[in-house]
Structure 1
Amino acid sequence: MPVEIKVGPPQLAIHQGYTVLVTEPDGQIAWATDKGLYFLDTRVISAYALYANGQPWDLLSSGAPASYGAKIFLTNKAFPSEGGDVAARTISLVVSRVVDGGMHERFDVTNHGRKPVHFNLEIALRSDFSDIFEVKSARIVRRGRIKTAWVEEAGELTTAYSNGEFTRSMTTRVRADMPAMYANGRLNFTLQLPPGASWSGSLLYDLFDGERLYAAPESCDLDAGSPQEAALQEWRERCLRIETGNAGFCRLFDQAVEDLAALRLPVESGGETHVVPAAGLPWFVALFGRDPLIVSLQTMTLNPEFAYATLEVLGAWQAKEVDAYRDAEPGKILHELRRGELATLKLIPHTPYYGTADATPLYLVLLHALWRATGDLAVVRRHLQTAEGCLSWIDEYGDRDGDGFQEYGTRSGEGYENVGWKDSGEAVVDVDGSNVSKPKALCEL
């Protein structure tokens, strides 16, 4: 029988580090939705819309020239104004965005008509500060308090959320040659443009996790001179280079190198920052166990940096005690670490959660493979204690009945039914599509 291939709805996604923006193709976020600006497992913008005198804009085209930046080209609908009716498609609005810590958003407005125009450019913002787990499950529970403060003299709008020890906030700074107004949930710029005239202004979104400020990038450029492009070029230079007359293969290889760069996730461990690969956009921009281990194995020839960093970070988080709620046992390598509200308040076990059957043996596989690939005996000595802990876990906890085979399952009431690489609740099915009940035997184990 033919296989139906489904393609998801179009969207525009950019990201860098722990900051992810997912919008409609026109750059907007229509409530209610799972799209938004996400930061450290929290949605800090849940609704976003642009208006000209209350009228929405029409999309011409949009795209993400880089993983960290996007451009959206819009034009106006017809709308009435103080100076008379403004004809449709006489005003252009180009929205440029760059994420790097926070987000920089620039507006370039041009009057292509023969008459002067006088109108309000309005940016409607809403922040629900929902945990990414609740957004994904479409079941959002409001627990804390949201406060918004507008400082007109500074042109700064701060929206903050707090619930016990968990806090997140976003400060939107206006950078323009005219003051902005804030009222009714909207930032407003009053524009007066003669025929052929243009205006530019920016909003800088600074993000705060309760301890550290992630400032918006100063520049909103996507050209070769931007700091983000310079960092990307440094990554390219550290990676394996291939020369071939096959232009198609070269394009494929170069794109793969850039895609890996886009997944780089900074993780602090032992007073240093290590860069490991994230598991995926947008739901899995976090530290995982299995995913960076496998990616490091697959990319070791390209660049061993991921392997060194992954061994360092996962070794630092190796379990030291039994905690059934988190499926933790001495020597076990983590499955997933989250930093949102639910994890901070211990409402989910991802602090970190250790419910994975394969990350611990994969740690040993990666350590051996890195030594074989580089001849670096120092890395083996550095992680020898972690490796011995992995071996002890396999013998003492992984093989629960002593038959020489590692067991498959969870001890946690909040744990995963499936703890292999296919770990969704419906991942392991029989030939008729029904869920397989335990005991389960995965070929990967």
Structure 2
Amino acid sequence: MRMARTLPASRQRGYSLKDGDSFLVSDASGDIHGDEVADGLFHEGTRILSRLRLGIDGEPLTLLGAATAHDRVVFTAHLTNRPLPPIGDSVAAGKGVIHVERSRFLWQGRLHERIACSNYDRVQVSLPLTIEFGADFLDMFEVRGMQRAHRGSYPQVLAQADRVVLRYAGLDGVERRTVIAFSQAPTALDGGMARFDLELGPREHVTLYLEAGAEVGQPEATRHRRSMAQARRALHGRRRPGARLRGGGLLFDAWVERSRTDIALLASDLPTGRYPYAGIPWFSTPFGRDAIITALQMLWLDPGLARGVLAYLAERQAAEDSSFRDSAPGKIMHETRKGEMAALGEIPFGLYYGGVDTTPLFLVLAGRYFRRTGDRAFIDQLWPALQRAAGWIERSCDADPDGLLAYARGEASGLSNQGWKDSGDSVFHADGSLPEGPIALVEVQGYAWEALRTMASLARERGDMIAAAGWAARADRLRATVEARFWDEDLDFYALARDGAGRMCRVLASNPGHLLYVGLPAPERAQRVVAQLASPRFDNGWGVRTLASDQPRYNPMSYHNGSVWPHDVALCAAGMARYGARRQAARLLGEVFEAATHFDMRLPELFCGFPRSAGEPPIAYPVACTPQAWAAGSVFMLLQACLGLEIDAPAREVVITHPQLPPGVDGLRVESLDVGDTRMDLAFQRIGGRVVAARAFGSEGVRVTVRM
């Protein structure tokens, strides 16, 4: 394995921007290097800009500071010069007299950048500003490390007066290009660098603009400001829907707002509605499971997101069998990708269905969306897709000797593990050996159980009592099988999985926390699961580990075998709260909140599972996606679990059961909560040793029941 060299401080943290099918990752100076990390400007799965480095006479500038604006649209870096080289007989300018403010944003597939240079010396200086650029047009999977036997043409470069055009002819017959345009013609321009020989008098300012994208543009100040305003309005429009949370304190409110903004940033406005892309950089594309869980996290506040997810996934439901794509009629997609390798079929992920849990989760989301909104017309529109999804679950269970929902990949190019823990070593036996398929994961049986119950409930709503009875009976049989096959008295826990030979994977993993989330376990067993998840072998002080610390293959630095995933913690906490363990849920919310304070209020996809040590932060996982949709959404699921808040729109009722607030939060207000045609505010306040809740605003058209 190639060892990465130590990166300078400016490159140890990536800064990201996203708009639609485009995203950009740079270092803190705003530079793109395209070598050690997955940085660059990407569009539709292809890196269209792999190098963009700003310098003075080819030398890098010194970083003063960098930040992304609170609305996550504009990135700004403040830079200064090292000593400027003398020109002729002139005296070199001293260090720290030139200030360069570099700001950028993405809009409609284009990078817009402003470079403002200011001279704070008392004499005129000559500023040889250089911009290095390049485009390797690598597919995202090449950036991730996949090797290809053949590629298209080497990038072709055409330099003109104030712009350069980089072209790549792919093997898929598509010509991809990047046009880098400048607001003024450089002094010198070639296929890899633009040089601007600027003269700045004392206190003088010079501003340059550049744009990079597939289409030709003419960058200048007015166009830059207008495009920035449009980008900000678009993101604000994605943040606007849904209820708001306020009053938790400055830090807590900052975490909530940043999480809400990150979900809006990752969401794209598609013809079917808003859809949250999974995460930057590796997963900035529609995923099925990730989007469904993000929609479930946000459902109580913003059900419109769930509607967009359901509509998009229904349109892409599988209609045929394909071992390459792991598809079968009725199945819901796992992910979709654009780019040359997907178009050529070099990878199956152009439209891939290798997720065993996505289809039942699709039904779970549909049922919970209906309960949250009472939107019968939309469910009627979805009904054929819901029936097809249920049919796939039924056929799959009928083909299994135990009647379970199991998976086995169709071809070696697909995912070997097809639950949410989809790394190759995430499912194993107590001796550490890897099982043969078909594999039935414990939490997937829970999702399938709720999916069947959902279909029974929706069928009753539609007056089809025969179909409802059939689905309800199937759900009962599945529940009985799970309780009989997966519960292990010696473990005092549910087994992780059953392999293709009928052997149980007797491993303590976080997966049964998801079983609590859907409510399958008997109450006495659920309490024993809660106790295990709350113990130090799972809870490291920052959340619930994916694997208990005394298990084989435990590694706190691994992707799935001992790390902490915020969305996984949220599902476990919601499951605990469902069985009355609301204080434990509040404790987990407090732990994850404290972790967020060490990650600049932006929870990463995952972090390492080392035990918490006094005075030390959680340990980052080096290549975690940040932002990640279901990590950002975890605060909302955790908070709903603590508040004990459930919304039944058809019954026009809001029920609050034994509400709790996390440590350090003494009050919270939920504002503009829509239930049917009624809008209300709810207030939660800590008084003495308990938390009280009440309607703070709104009509009496919806009943609010508080169980203390």
TM over 0.5: yes
CA distance in 2, matches of 1:241, 1:365: 25
Are residues 1:148 and 2:157 paired? yes
Note the alpha carbon deviations across 1:163-187, whole angstroms, 9 max, x for none. 23233211112124x5553125101
Q: What corresponds to 2:24 in structure 1? A: 21
Are residues 1:64 and 2:90 paired? no
SS across alignment from 1:188 = strand
Q: Where does 1:13-412 land on structure 2 (aligned, <5 Å)?
A: 13-33=16-36, 34-65=38-69, 66-82=71-87, 83-101=90-108, 102-137=110-145, 139=147, 143-145=151-153, 146-152=155-161, 155-163=162-170, 164-176=172-184, 179=186, 181-183=188-190, 185-207=192-214, 220=224, 226-244=229-247, 246-267=249-270, 272=271, 274-397=273-396, 399-401=398-400, 403-412=402-411
Corresponding letter in the other structure for 1:40: E
Note the alpha carbon deviations across 1:135-168, whole angstroms, 9 max, x for none. 112647660111111221xx22111211232332
**Higher fraction of strand:** 1
Note the alpha carbon deviations across 1:79-123, whole angstroms, 9 max, x for none. 323244222211111110111221101100011112211232110
Corresponding letter in the other structure for 2:33: A
**Contact kept in structure 2, 1:207 and 1:214, CA below 8 Å:** no
Q: Which moved more, 1:73-82 or 1:291-300?
A: 73-82
CA distance in 1, matches of 2:257, 2:223: 25
The CA deviation at 1:429 is: 4.1
CA distance in 2, matches of 1:127, 1:21: 13
SS across alignment from 1:287 = coil
**Higher fraction of helix:** 2
Q: Which moved more, 1:325-334 or 1:408-417?
A: 408-417
CA distance in 2, matches of 1:259, 1:122: 33
Residues 406 and 245 (structure 1), Cα distance of their counterparts in 2 relative to 1, 3 Å cut = closer
**Contact kept in structure 2, 1:55 and 1:79, CA below 8 Å:** no
For structure 2, the residue ranges without an aligned partner over 5 or more in a row are 1-10, 445-708
Residues 434 and 198 (structure 1), Cα distance of their counterparts in 2 relative to 1, 3 Å cut = farther
**Contact kept in structure 2, 1:399 and 1:407, CA below 8 Å:** no
**Contact kept in structure 2, 1:98 and 1:221, CA below 8 Å:** no
For structure 1, the residue ranges without an aligned partner over 5 or more in a row are 1-7
User: With structure 1 as the length reference, what TM-score do the two structures score?
Assistant: 0.89
CA distance in 1, matches of 2:188, 2:354: 50
Q: What corresponds to 2:418 in structure 1? A: 419
Q: Where does 1:3-14 land on structure 2 (aligned, <5 Å)?
A: 9-14=12-17
User: Could you say which structure has the greater relative contact order, defined with CA pairs below 8 angstroms and 6 or more residues apart?
Assistant: 1
**Contact kept in structure 1, 2:209 and 2:219, CA below 8 Å:** no
Residues 394 and 350 (structure 1), Cα distance of their counterparts in 2 relative to 1, 3 Å cut = same
The CA deviation at 1:245 is: 6.2
Corresponding letter in the other structure for 1:198: H
Note the alpha carbon deviations across 1:361-403, whole angstroms, 9 max, x for none. 1111111111111111111110111011101111224543364
Give the aligned length.
426
Residues 180 and 308 (structure 1), Cα distance of their counterparts in 2 relative to 1, 3 Å cut = farther
Q: Which moved more, 1:254-263 or 1:373-382?
A: 254-263
**Contact kept in structure 1, 2:278 and 2:285, CA below 8 Å:** yes
SS across alignment from 1:192 = strand
**Contact kept in structure 1, 2:64 and 2:80, CA below 8 Å:** yes
CA distance in 2, matches of 1:64, 1:37: 16
SS across alignment from 1:93 = strand
Q: Which moved more, 1:26-35 or 1:346-355?
A: 26-35
Corresponding letter in the other structure for 2:59: Q
CA distance in 2, matches of 1:369, 1:68: 32
**Contact kept in structure 1, 2:210 and 2:219, CA below 8 Å:** no
Point out the structure with max Rg over C-alpha: 2
The CA deviation at 1:215 is: 10
Q: Which moved more, 1:424-433 or 1:294-303?
A: 424-433
